[in-house]
């Protein structure tokens, strides 16, 4: 602890369940200084990722540009491989991108809207998803939004009412960022495919914390990133493209990393790579590849299944503790639909978030909602620390 940092006002947390996962707390130095409950915004930084970053700098310093061919391309390939394994895809079906927004933009330009001009999304989805097609309205694309009856979930029937023979794509999240609700993706995919449209999943809030198999869910495209549950930091996103779609997918935005003969430097002709890497564009952020490989290794070591089990245990406890205080928790009724995002309806949540920082507790807010997102490295005792601190702050308002 540095001199300027206030001391923790509460006793240090004690592990009572899943000791093998709690042991990972020592991998994340921030957990010794803060009650860190904002992993759905930014996953905690691990020692492994820090070592990765140091290694990157060392390579840069030692080898300069030679590191590209000898080492860095290999690290990028490793990141793709690890991601493919996590989602149950084949290596040639995955690619990297600098952000989910860029990945989405690329896919959005590859679709043919001449016969099928509508795209269906959920009103609850993260806005960057909708923006890709809202900006295409002037090109004749129609955006349709499935509404939520309760701001927690969007039933598959809401999509069914909007999808028709002119739907090009249904694009939605597996886990809603506002409620943590895990959608029945397979039910939506079945509706989508019945109408001959494609299914795209924005899995930023799901990958790493909830197991997934893209084939079992019958997904055509998936985009996600390393910032949150993959604990890899900003600057890296992943794309999955179903094998059968690869040959026909020709985005109208691209770059030299998408060219089949990238290092032939052919200025006058463009040929897409045969693999999903055809959507890659320019020089990737290698430092993030290193930090991301650290996070991905931890996820693979622990397994997404174990992470999910522990996160659920923490989330259910958090919801129960919040309800004991009589607070309105914006969470799915069915425990199997819950993920590690807990929203409390609280007036001026931004003020509470700020006050919590003075208690060394990191949370977040969205309009009208205080957002708490525990992960496998948190503990029941930390749940109590957060809940008690919120109660204290709310009591001081009266």
| List of residues contacting ligand PLP (CB under 6 A) | 99-101, 126, 128, 173, 177, 202, 204-205, 225, 237
Q: Give the nearest distance from C-beta 14 to ligand PLP in angstroms.
A: 32
Of 128 and 306, the one with the shorter C-beta distance to ligand PLP is: 128
Query: Is 27 or 280 the residue whose CB approaches ligand PLP more closely?
Result: 280
Phi, psi of 308 (to 5 degrees): -60, -45
The smaller minimum CB distance to ligand PLP, of residues 199 and 380, is found at 199
CB of 320 to ligand PLP, least distance (A): 26
- φ and ψ of 299, to 5 deg: -60, -45
Residue 262 burial class via C-beta count within 10 angstroms: exposed 0-12, middle 13-18, buried 19 and up: middle
Q: Supply the minimum distance, in Å, between the C-beta of residue 104 and ligand PLP.
A: 7
User: Smallest distance, Å, CB 97 to ligand PLP?
Assistant: 8
CB of 31 or CB of 227, closer to ligand PLP: 227
Task: Give me the least distance between CB of 284 and ligand PLP, in Å please.
Answer: 14
For 144, phi then psi, to 5°, come to: -120, 140
> Minimum distance from CB of 389 to ligand PLP (Å)?
25
Cβ closest to ligand PLP, residue 146 vs residue 380: 146
In angstroms, what is the minimal distance from the CB of 228 to ligand PLP? 7
Please, which residue, 201 or 393, has the CB nearer to ligand PLP?
201
**Short-list 27, 24, 174, 179, CA closest to 87:** 174
CB of 230 vs ligand PLP, minimal distance in Å: 12
Tell me how far, at minimum, the Cβ of 227 lies from ligand PLP, in Å. 7
Judged by phi (left if over 0) then psi (alpha if -120 to 50, else beta), residue 39 lies in alpha
119 or 389: CB nearest ligand PLP:
119
Please tell me the distance from the alpha carbon of residue 222 to that of residue 242, in angstroms, as a whole number: 9
Adjacent-strand bridge partners of 35? 361
Whose Cβ is closer to ligand PLP: residue 36's or residue 126's?
126
| Centroid of chain to Cα 30 | 21
Cα 101–chain centre separation:
12
Identity of the residue, 22 or 86, whose beta carbon is nearer to ligand PLP in the bound complex: 86
């Amino acid at each position: 602890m540095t001199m300027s940092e206030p001391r923790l006002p509460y006793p240090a947390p004690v592990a009572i369940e899943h000791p093998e996962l709690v042991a990972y707390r020592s991998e994340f130095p921030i957990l010794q200084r803060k009650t860190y409950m904002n992993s759905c915004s930014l996953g905690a930084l691990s020692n492994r990722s820090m070592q990765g970053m140091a290694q990157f700098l060392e390579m840069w310093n030692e080898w300069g540009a030679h590191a590209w061919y000898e080492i860095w391309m290999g690290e990028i390939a490793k990141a793709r491989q690890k991601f493919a394994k996590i989602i149950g895809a084949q290596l040639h079906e995955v690619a990297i991108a600098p952000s989910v927004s860029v990945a989405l933009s690329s896919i959005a330009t590859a679709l043919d809207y001449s016969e099928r001009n509508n795209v269906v999304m959920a009103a609850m989805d993260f806005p960057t998803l909708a923006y890709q097609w809202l900006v295409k309205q002037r090109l004749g694309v129609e955006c349709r939004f499935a509404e939520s009856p309760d701001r927690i979930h969007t039933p598959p029937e809401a999509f069914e009412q909007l999808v028709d023979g002119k739907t090009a794509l249904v694009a939605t999240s597996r886990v809603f960022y506002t409620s943590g609700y895990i959608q029945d993706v397979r039910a939506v995919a079945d509706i989508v495919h019945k109408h001959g449209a494609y299914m795209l999943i924005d899995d930023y809030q799901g990958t790493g914390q909830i197991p997934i198999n893209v084939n079992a869910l019958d997904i055509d495209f998936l985009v996600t990133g390393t910032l949150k549950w993959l604990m890899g930091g900003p600057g890296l996103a992943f794309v999955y493209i179903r094998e059968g779609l690869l040959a026909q997918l020709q985005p109208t935005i691209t770059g030299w990393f998408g060219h089949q003969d990238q290092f032939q430097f052919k200025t006058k002709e463009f040929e897409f790579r045969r693999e999903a890497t055809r959507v890659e564009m320019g020089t990737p952020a290698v430092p993030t590849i290193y930090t991301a490989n650290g996070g991905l290794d931890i996820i693979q070591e622990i397994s997404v299944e174990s992470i999910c089990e522990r996160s659920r245990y923490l989330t259910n406890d958090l919801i129960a503790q919040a309800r004991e205080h009589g607070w309105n928790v914006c969470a799915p009724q069915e425990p199997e639909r819950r993920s590690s995002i807990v929203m409390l309806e609280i007036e001026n949540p931004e003020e509470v978030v700020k006050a919590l920082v003075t208690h060394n507790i990191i949370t977040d807010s969205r309009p009208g909602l205080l957002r708490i997102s525990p992960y496998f490295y948190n503990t029941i005792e930390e749940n109590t620390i957060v809940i008690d601190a919120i109660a204290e702050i709310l009591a001081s308002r009266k």
